[in-house]
A and B are shown apart, each in its own frame.
Chain A
Amino acid sequence: MSYCVNCGVELHETCSVCPLCHTEVHNPRHPADENAPKPFPVRQGAVAPVQKADVLILISVVLAVTAGVCGLLNLLIFYGTYWSLYVIGGCVLLWVFCLPMFLPKISPYVSILLDGGGIAMYFGIIAWLHPGRGWYPDLAVPLTVLATGLILLFAVCVRQIHASILSCAALLLAETAVYTIAVELLIDRFRQTPPGLTWSAIVLTCCVIIDAALITILRHSRLREEVRRRMHI
Chain B
Amino acid sequence: MKKRLNEKKPWYRLDLSAIVYPTLQRKNFSSVYRLSVVLKEKVEPDLLQRAVDETLPRFPTFKVAMRKGVFWRYLEPNDRPGPFVEPDIANPCMPMSFQNSSRYLIRIYYYEKRISLEVFHSLSDGGGAMYLLRTMTAVYLRLKGHPIPVGQGVLDLMEEPDAEELEDAYFRYASSKVRPPRSREKTYRIRGTREPFYTLNIITGVLPVQQVLSAARTYQVSVTEYLNAVLLYALLQKQKDDRVFRELPVSIAMPVNLRRFFPSKTLRNFITMVYPAIDPRMGDYTFEEIVLQVHHFMRYYINNKFLNADITTNAAVTRNPFIRVVPLFFKDIVIRQFYKRVQDKQSSAGLTNLGIIETPEEMKAHIERFDVLMGQPFSARTNCAVVSFGEILSISFASSIVEADVERMFFRKLVQDGIHVKIESNRKTEVR
Contacts and interface: CB of A to CB of B under 8 A. Distances in A.
Interface of A: 4, 7-12, 14-22, 24, 37, 39-48, 50-52
B406 to A, nearest CB: 10
A46 B94 contact: yes
Interface residues of B, number: 37
A26 B354 CA distance: 36
B320 interface: no
A9 B425 contact: no
Interface in B413-432: 415, 420-427, 429-432
Contact of A46 (B198, B426, B431): B198
B411 A20 contact: yes
Contacts of A39: 204, 424-426
9 contacts: A8-B415, A8-B421, A9-B415, A19-B203, A22-B432, A43-B87, A45-B89, A47-B97, A48-B101
Contacts, number: 101
A20 B203 CA distance: 8
A15 B423 contact: yes
Interface string B63-100: 00000000000000000000000011111001111011
Contact of B423 (A20, A37, A47, A52): A20
A7 B101 contact: no
B99 A8 contact: no
Given A12-B425, A47-B95, 11 more contacts: A8-B412, A10-B421, A16-B431, A19-B423, A19-B425, A20-B203, A21-B408, A41-B90, A43-B89, A48-B97, A48-B100
B111 A19 contact: no
B95 A41 contact: no
Which residue, of A7, A8, A9, A22, has the highest number of chain B Cβ atoms within 10 A?
A9
Nearest to B102: A48
A7 B431 CA distance: 17
Contact of B205 (A8, A9, A18, A48): A9
B423 A41 contact: no
A50 B423 contact: no
Contacts of B425: 12, 15, 19, 39-40
B111 A10 contact: no
Given A37-B112, A43-B87, A50 B99 contact: yes
A9 B198 contact: no
A7 to B, nearest CB: 6
A18 B421 CA distance: 13
Contact of A19 (B95, B412, B429): B429
B202 interface: yes
B310 interface: no
A7 B87 contact: no
B90 A40 contact: yes
A19 B89 CA distance: 19
A173 to B, nearest CB: 30
B407 interface: yes
Nearest to B412: A7
A47 B408 contact: no
A20 B408 contact: yes
Nearest to B88: A41
Interface in B199-215: 202-205
Contacts of B427: 19
B112 A19 contact: no
Nearest to A40: B426
B315 interface: no
A44 B90 contact: yes
A23 to B, nearest CB: 10
B404 interface: yes
A121 B431 CA distance: 61
Contact of A44 (B91, B100, B420, B432): B91
Question: 10 closest A-B pairs (Cβ-Cβ)?
Answer: A45-B89, A40-B426, A19-B425, A39-B424, A20-B408, A10-B422, A8-B415, A17-B429, A9-B421, A12-B424
Interface string B190-226: 0000000010001111000000000000000000000
A7 B426 CA distance: 18
Contacts of B203: 19-20
A41 B101 CA distance: 25
Contacts of B99: 50-52
B429 A16 contact: yes
Contacts of B412: 7-9, 20
